[in-house]
């Protein structure tokens, strides 16, 4: 449930439509309590619990739920949604509580990355941004940070989405549409993004979790493919080819 639209919007394993599009208000029911307190909340028997309000008893009973956990999804100190987990019998949730909390953290990471990518894309779509403007320099710095973050994201779909957004940013900045496309390996682009931000080989290695010798190898390979003789020439060529913003 995402709080921009305060309803149960994504369901899995339900047997009835009772919970579909159910609106949840702050303070009401288990989810509402979790939102109000901005922390996970759980009950072993929803219908008899004295710890929560019972505004949603009919829907919960119709679905046949008993033990329920609600975990808030918090991004930049704002509750963006609630993840629910439930059993149809009265049992202690045990390890399921930890699992729900881990899932919520994964969603938080996904939302942070999505927000960053959308913000950068909005800047990139501005008509003819000045190459040296503070806004565009911020895009370039953030592009490098997101490229460095991507390999650490476990979810392959989210990682692919982030890299696609980075590619769209770079393409929006291409200074010469006639420049031939150059096939660089993802890590070669990562290294060039760090170099473009002013990082040394050692700094790029630390940022990307690589050895300095490995970074040097990727940089040499990228320079060869781009026909560049210096680091600066490689960055300029990569920008012209739409590989970097």
The domains of the chain are located at 1-93, 111-240
Let me know: does 19 contact 61? Beta carbons within 8 Å: no
pLDDT at 128 over 50: no
- The CATH code for residues 111-240 is 1.10.10.10
CATH fit for domain 1-93, picks 3.40.30.10, 3.30.450.40, 3.40.1350.10, 3.30.565.10: 3.30.450.40
Q: What is the mean pLDDT of the chain?
A: 80
Which residues make Cβ contacts (< 8 Å) with residue 152, sequence separation at least 6? 209
For residue 30 the two structure tokens come to: 């288990």
Label residue 3 by pLDDT band (50, 70, 90). Answer: very low
Q: Is there a common fold for 1-93 and 111-240? A: no
Supply the pLDDT for residue 101: 67
**Which of 219, 214, 167, 173 minimizes the C-alpha distance to 192?**
219
User: Does pTM top 0.75 for this prediction?
Assistant: no
């Amino acid at each position: 449930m995402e709080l921009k639209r305060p309803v149960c919007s994504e369901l899995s394993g339900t047997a009835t439509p009772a919970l579909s599009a159910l609106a949840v208000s702050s303070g009401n029911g288990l989810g509402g309590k979790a939102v109000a307190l901005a922390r996970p909340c759980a009950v072993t028997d929803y219908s008899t619990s004295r710890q929560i309000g019972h505004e949603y008893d009919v829907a919960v009973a119709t679905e046949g739920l008993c033990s329920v956990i609600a975990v808030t999804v918090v991004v930049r100190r704002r509750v963006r949604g609630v993840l629910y987990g439930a059993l149809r019998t009265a049992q202690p949730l045990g390890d399921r509580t930890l699992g729900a909390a881990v899932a919520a953290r994964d969603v938080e990471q996904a939302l942070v990355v999505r927000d960053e990518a959308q913000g950068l894309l909005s800047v990139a779509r501005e008509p003819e941004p000045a190459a040296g403007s503070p806004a565009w320099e911020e895009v370039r710095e953030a592009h490098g940070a997101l490229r460095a973050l991507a390999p650490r994201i476990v979810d392959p779909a989210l990682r692919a989405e982030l890299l696609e957004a980075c590619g769209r940013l770079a393409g929006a900045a291409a200074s010469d549409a006639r420049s031939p496309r150059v096939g660089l390996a993802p890590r070669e682009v990562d290294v060039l993004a760090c170099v473009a931000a002013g990082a040394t080989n050692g700094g790029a290695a630390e940022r990307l979790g690589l050895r300095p010798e490995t970074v040097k190898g990727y940089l040499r390979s990228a320079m060869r493919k781009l026909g560049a003789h210096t680091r600066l020439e490689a960055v300029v060529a990569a920008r012209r080819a739409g590989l970097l913003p």
